[in-house]
Chains A and B, each alone.
Chain A
């Protein structure tokens, strides 16, 4: 994949001395950077314009949140998200950020990482017997900016020293160089969002190819990290059976099953607003071709029977390849779990199971 090169970099004046800002300046040079004083600053219009300008600034609110996938009526994996950045330089056709960040589209990395980690430490210390799974890939790609910000140098040592937490770095890139020199101590899972190669080519512009992602996964596995895989969103297209079978086989060929912490499956889901954003894209998105119907939560998914077929096909293939590696469904109700997995775990039980799968 082509490394991300922002058209402009803006840094909040008072944050220039932070490790994050210094890392960016060291890589791009001071001449490449412009300073701003809040509330002034860059105001890109539109999510796609926002992807081309990198903004470094303080974050004023909470960093740690419950994963929004924990919607009532759906089985939840008790995941926490740590929002250290917002937006993403890649441009997936189905990405919910097209709607979610429509009013605040600037690609932003937060500079007060120390405050974020102090917030995490307070939660972990308050519940020392509870295992936490915390991810940074909710409203940003966990590693897309790492070649510029070297954020992983702050995150990995912090979590490596924490006995009751696992950090998940979720990405569609091959930006793992910073990770290779760090010691995860069994507390960091590097996860890839995976898809059929045809979907990646058509609907995930700017991302690493499937082969590049799996090559990067092999490298970090060899460096001591556990690996996660998220087949999400599963997209129904002509030839999906073969496309997803090949993706599972490619994962199995790249990463030994002993390195896999967990694998999730999730169906393509579009809110009405996101569907309209997808329709406004210059190139018609392939995801629009899927047979979607609106569910009780208002999101359109592939209709139930076809969705169950897709899940079963993937689960069968994954079980054959990875044995008893923890598998879970993202944002699905109990009846779907029962049909696909022959069980409906409680949110707590699922969270504990996945946390156990993350440790060596």
Chain B
């Protein structure tokens, strides 16, 4: 019965045959859990495929079934937040990304905390490479006047020697 419901859902959303085949190739528990998730979030094919990729990868990482991943407390907490569809899908992807890349997510969180600790002035922003694929920090200054630019530069210079900056570079260079 569950497989009939899966086929019906896939047909209604015009899923490709390859996506449906992957879905039906999961364990019965995973098939059913994915169906419940797809119906709850009304996932389109691309969204479904992204979620499926992450779930399978996390399951491999945990040596568990994808259905068990969907029982993770972080995901269960999502459904208690009363989010709308688009917000729920975005939040789900964020949670899955954290579960899929736990070390990178933790480093990014630490980088964000360190950047905040510098208390850079308004208009100054410190960013790091997407996916942490690189060792460079980028400092952006947005100033509307010479005075503002000078004030930003002075503030940045004052914190350049902060240990937080050293730690940020160390994290990007894999030294932690």
Contact = CB atoms under 8 A, between A and B. Distances in A.
Contact of A293 (B56, B107, B132, B172): B132
Contacts, number: 71
Contacts of A280: 22
Interface stretch (A24-32, A122-130, A307-315): A307-315
B135 A304 contact: yes
B145 interface: no
What 7 A-B pairs come out closest when comparing CB atoms?
A308-B174, A293-B131, A289-B61, A305-B174, A309-B174, A289-B60, A291-B101
8 contacts: A284-B60, A293-B101, A293-B104, A293-B132, A308-B173, A309-B174, A309-B175, A312-B174
A351 to B, nearest CB: 26
Would you call the interface of chain A mostly helix, strand, loop, or mixed?
Answer: helix
Given A289-B60, A291-B103, A305-B107, A339 B173 contact: yes
Interface string B133-146: 11100000000000
Contacts of A284: 56, 59-60
Interface string B104-133: 100100000000000000000000011111
Contacts of B57: 288-289
A286 B60 contact: yes
A335 B169 CA distance: 14
Interface of A: 238, 279-280, 284-286, 288-289, 291, 293-296, 301, 303-309, 312, 335, 339
A308 B130 CA distance: 17
A312 to B, nearest CB: 7
Interface residues of B, number: 27
B56 to A, nearest CB: 6
A335 B133 CA distance: 11
A303 B131 contact: yes
B174 A294 contact: no
B41 interface: no
B171 interface: yes
Contacts of A238: 61
Contacts of B132: 293, 303-305
A295 B131 CA distance: 9
A335 B101 contact: no
B53 interface: yes
A339 B101 contact: no
